[in-house]
Amino acid sequence: MKFFATLFAPAIGIATGPLVLFGPRVLQSEAPFDPVWGAAGAALTILGAAAAYRAISRHVSQPATTLVTTIERIRGGALDSPVEAGGRSGALAAVFDALNDLRATLQNEARDRAQAQLAEERAVADRQAASDAQSRGYVAAHEFFMKSFTEGLDRLAIGNLTHRLNDPFSIDYEQIRHCYNAALDKLRNAFADIIDNIDGLTSRTGEIAGAADALAQRTEQQAASLEETSAALEQITATVHKTSDGAQRAATVVSEAQADAARSSEIVRNAIEAMGRIETSSRQIGQIIGVIDEIAFQTNLLALNAGVEAARAGEAGRGFAVVASEVRALAQRSAEAAREIKSLISTSSSQVEDGVALVAQTGKSLDRIVNQVVEANKVVVEIANGAREQAVGLAEVNTAVAQMDQFTQQNAAMVEETTAASHGLKSDIERLSASVGAFDLGERARTEAPTVKRSKPQSTITPPQRRAATRGGALPKEQVAQIEEGWEEF
Amino acid sequence: MAETISRVATNEAKEFIAFHIGAQTFCIDIMAVREIRGWTPATPLPHAPSFVRGVINLRGAVLPVIDLATRLGLAQSEPTARHAVIVVQSAGQVAGLLVDAVSNILTLTPDAIQPTPEVASEIARTFVKGVVAAGDEMISVLTIQNLLPEPALDAA
């Protein structure tokens, strides 16, 4: 029915109420009414009427031909003219009716398709228009964003951290603006913190550098002390070696003295025996002298008796008296000589006794000396043992000192590194300060800036310190070298 | 014998045997001396005078020995083999005189013998006939018959 309504609306006229009302409503809902389509529809209506007329006219003669023609026409897209039975009845009429239904259906579908396409085209156009408007808005917003953002980045590039993007961006870029502002806030705060901390860092770095210098100095002193200790140890070791050698020599001498004393004891014993033999000989000599004395005595008596006899003989005994006198003189001289020999022998005997006593005393003294020498030997052995133990202890001390020297060298190297690191840190902080000083932080930066500048004079003062430090750091090297030489000597 | 006596009487030099007792030197007339011998231990006699040491065997004869030191009142000495016994004979009496040592045979003229000083006691003068100054020592000349024990006393 819609199809018909659509087709006949132009033909019947727009005046027809329901159709007119119905048609535009449909058109308005989907697409604006087009007069061209109306004209086409009218033409189709006319063509259909003529064809129907011809069909009806040919109904009788060529219904089949008509049917075929109709089908081909439908297939060719001519759907406007309805297929009518043309007064036919029966099955043919039903075929035509069905064909007509088919045509109507196809016609409706074609019309729907056309309407749908029209609606789609219109929607596309609307979207295009909306899209164009939107694009123009986008472009404007983008340009604004680019301008503002580039300006902000330019400010940031010259180190201005006070700039903010205050004009709102389009909704798409607003987040970027917030992010930029927040990032700059954070950057500014961070730089402010950095500037705040640079002072502390500078002073602490100075303290570290000073401490490293002092440490280097003390390490140097320690190395010197170690060197002195090494020298003293060397002397002590030499002394201990001397003591050990001396004790060894003393032990040798003492043992020799012991042997000598033992030999001397033997000699003293021999001397005592010799003295005894001398005493015996003296005694024997004394006995012999006694015999001689006795003989002299008896001779004297005989001479006296001879003298007596001669005296009695008177003149006759005168010559005999002279002989007797001579004999008596000889006897007296013999007695005298015997007495002298006796006294000499007794003197010799007493001297031999004295000698024996002295030799015995000498023997006792030698025994005492031997005992004392043995004692001295013990003491010397103890001294030698002590010296050996001292040498062992000194070796341990030497090892400890060597370790200490090694540690000191390591410390010196570490101190040097620390000094270098502290001064590197200092220069880093100066550079950091300079880098940070290039940024403008606004009011706060103006108050903080002098601090940064004040830290710079400190950093200009530091180079002498650094030089001193490097000198201090260089000295330990020489010191280490000296110590190494010292150790090689040691 | 008679000639000798006469020579003595006529200031002829006479010979004396000099001997020591302790530190003193004495001498006796050599003509009274029979012989001189060494000391041999004497056998003491009971109840004999203190100056009689005892008796010794002299070639089979019993000879009394007088300790001259005791007899002269000097300190008694213990005799040794070096002591001498002078065998004297006087008025038919033979005795031995124990002295410390016989030192010499002196030849003296009578004027060399000085008389014993008057200050000496009678006993001394009975023993000491005179004193001879020989060098730096004084030698007493003893009277032999006074030294010997009296035979009369012995008989009594």
Q: Which chain B residues are within 8 Å of A308, Cβ to Cβ?
A: 17, 30, 33-36, 105
Closest CA–CA distance from residue A350 to any residue of chain B (Å): 24
Q: Is there a contact between B36 and A301 if contact means CB atoms under 8 Å apart?
A: yes
Cα of B115 to nearest chain A Cα, Å: 24
Q: What is the ipTM of this complex?
A: 0.84
Residues from B contacting A (CB-CB < 8 Å) are 3-4, 15, 17, 30-31, 33-38, 81-82, 84, 102, 105
End-to-end alpha carbon distance in chain A:
129
- What span, in angstroms and rounded, lies between the C-alpha atoms of B78 and A303? 25
Residue B100, pLDDT above cutoff 70:
yes
Based on DSSP, count helices (H) and strands (E) in chain A, helices before strands.
Answer: 8, 0
B contact test, residue of A292, A302, A308 with most B CBs within 10 A: A308
| Inter-chain CB proximity A304 and B102 less than 8 Å | yes
Average pLDDT over residues A183-190: 88
Q: Number of residue pairs across A and B with CB atoms under 8 Å?
A: 38
Closest residue in chain B to residue A335, using alpha carbons only: B82
**Confidence band of B19 (pLDDT split at 50, 70, 90):** very high
More confident residue, A154 or A31: A154
Chain B residues inside the 8 Å CB shell of A298: 38
All residues of chain B having their beta carbon less than 8 Å from the beta carbon of residue A304 are 17, 36, 102, 105
A307-356 pLDDT, tens digit per residue, is 899 888 888 888 888 888 898 889 888 888 888 888 888 888 888 888 88
Report the alpha-carbon distance of residue A75 to residue A64 in Å, rounded: 16
Distance from CA of A353 to the nearest CA of B (A): 27
Rounded Cα distance, A187 and A164, in Å: 12
- If 0-12 CB within 10 Å is exposed, 13-18 middle and 19+ buried, where does residue B17 land? buried
- Taking contacts as CB-CB distances below 8 angstroms, the residues of chain A near B40 are none
Q: In the structure encoding, which two tokens stand for residue A337, read together?
A: 């000589």
Measured between beta carbons, which residues in chain B are less than 8 angstroms from residue A328?
105
Q: How confident is the model at residue A112 (pLDDT cuts 50, 70, 90)?
A: very high
Find which of A304, A305, A315, A339 to mutate to test the B interface (most B CBs within 10 Å of its CB). A304
* Residue A486, pLDDT score: 43
User: Which pTM does this prediction carry?
Assistant: 0.46
CA nearest to B99, candidates B29, B23, B3: B23
CB contact under 8 A, B82 and A297: yes
Test the A interface: residue of B33, B40, B103 with most A CBs within 10 Å: B33
Q: What is the mean pLDDT of residues A28-57?
A: 74
Q: Which amino acid is at B8?
A: V
Contact assessment for residue A440 and residue A159, using Cβ atoms and an 8 Å cutoff:
yes
B82 vs A311: CB contact, 8 Å cut-off? no
- Of all helices (H) and strands (E), which one includes residue B90? strand B84-90
Nearest to A305 among B3, B31, B35 (CB): B35
Using the Cβ of A333 and the Cβ atoms of chain B, whether some distance falls under 8 Å is answered with no
Among B4, B36, B82, select the one facing A308 at the smallest CB separation.
Answer: B36
Q: Do A308 and B30 touch (CB under 8 A)?
A: yes
Q: A408: closest CA among A281, A228, A252, A275?
A: A228
As a whole number of angstroms, the distance between CA A97 and CA B148 comes to: 240
Distance (Å, whole) CA B52 – CA B45: 8
Do residues A451 and A195 touch, judged by C-beta distance below 8 A? Answer: yes
Q: Decide if A308 and B33 are in contact by the 8 Å CB cutoff.
A: yes
Q: Which two tokens stand for residue A281?
A: 């000989």
- How many CB atoms are located within 10 Å of the residue A48 CB? 20
Confidence of residue A57 (pLDDT cuts 50, 70, 90): low
Which of B31, B35, B102 lies nearest to residue A311, judging by beta carbons? B31
pLDDT, tens digit, for every residue of A272-302?
888 888 888 888 888 888 898 888 888 888 8
Query: What is the number of other CB atoms lying within 10 angstroms of the CB of residue A26?
Result: 15
